[in-house]
Amino acid sequence: MNALLAVVAILGVSASGPLMAGASAPALAIGFWRNALGTLAVAPFAAPRARGELGSLGRSGWRTTVFAGVMLAAHFGTWVTALKMTSVAAATAMVSMQVVFVVVIDRLRGEVAPRAVVAGMGLAVVGVLVITGVDFTLSARALTGDLLALVGGLTAALYLIAGSQVRERVSTGSYTVACYGICALVLAGACLVGQVEMVDFSGRTWLAIIGVTICAQLLGHSVLNHLLAVMSPGLISLLLLLEVPGAALLAGIFLGQTPPVGVYAGLALILAGLVLVVVRRPPPEAALAD
């Protein structure tokens, strides 16, 4: 049963990139609706514990939670934009570099990474250079998309680090409602300031937005959060790396995207490097059980 749930979760997160790339809506609006709808879906189940847990966070805990929500908003703003400027395969591979950014940030905070982790990071960086080099020969737009996806990986890393601190004190449901809600508010404000269209979309685009909420938010990450009770964080991290080839395959089938061979070579290098990083990196401290 757990193996079946893992397959469902990987298919869910893999569908995220192709669905958002195919939605004819601004990146900020897609990010807003994905988080707003995800919050509304989780809130009824989280409500019994959320009020007490979030109320006990205090000023410092809320500052960290708000920071995580803002970083998540920046992640969606940059990554969804990248999906519309470069290939799904390249954007998904770049944003997966969040694992490397987490290790680098931990190193800046005084933690020493094993040599195998450093080697894996180097291999992944070579993969990034290969992909950006290929896209540079295609267009400045594709290269800009690659760089935005990298920023999306960095902001995702900051979101994960801040979130891990909050998760030591509150359950997944409580944290999800708070963080996704803050993220949705930030993205809504950005849409209003930038005069970004938020509702006047075609039926097909609304189906894509609802689809990415169901697939990535609920069947993807929520199921993986459940599996953390029976699988190690390292195994979950490895499963998440399957999103990269999964998204590339789905984009090829449904969007007709066939990036140059060099992109797939860079993707393979990134995956190999990230596997080394995930496998050799010391396990994180346990968060509060749900």
Measured CA to CA, the distance from residue 27 to residue 82 in angstroms comes to 9
Kindly give the parts of the chain with pLDDT less than 70.
Answer: 225, 228-229, 232-234, 283-290
Under DSSP, is residue 230 helix (H, G, I), strand (E, B) or coil? coil
How is residue 102 written in tokens? Answer: 């987490």
d(CA 188, CA 73): 10
User: Residue ranges of the domains in the chain?
Assistant: 27-197+255-280
Measured in whole angstroms, the distance separating CA 114 from the mean position of its chain's CA atoms is: 25
CA dihedral of residues 130, 131, 136, 139 (deg, nearest 10): 160
List of residues 6+ apart from 1 with CB closer than 8 A: none
Half-sphere exposure of 158 (CA within 13 A, CB side): 17
What average pLDDT does the structure give for the chain? 90
Residue with tokens 């992909």: 131
pLDDT tens column, 252-270: 999 999 899 999 999 999 9
Other Cβ atoms within 10 Å of 284 Cβ, number: 14
pLDDT at 111: 85
* CA gap 290, 286 in Å, rounded: 12
pLDDT of residue 288: 46
Tokens encoding 78: 């940059």
pLDDT at 285: 53
- Give residue for tokens 């990071």: 121
Under 8 Å between Cβ of 220 and 16: yes
Torsion sign (Cα): 16, 19, 22, 27: negative
- Tell me, what amino acid is at 279? V
Burial of residue 230 (number of CB atoms within 10 Å: 0-12, 13-18, 19+)? exposed
The DSSP 8-state label assigned to residue 25 in this structure reads: S
Name residue 183's amino acid: C
- Coil/strand/helix, residue 178: helix
What Cα–Cα distance (Å) separates residue 225 from each residue in 97, 104, 221, 281?
Answer: 20, 24, 6, 20
How many other β-carbons are positioned within 10 Å of the β-carbon of residue 268?
A: 16
219 vs 212: CA distance, rounded Å: 10
Q: What was the pLDDT predicted at 290?
A: 43
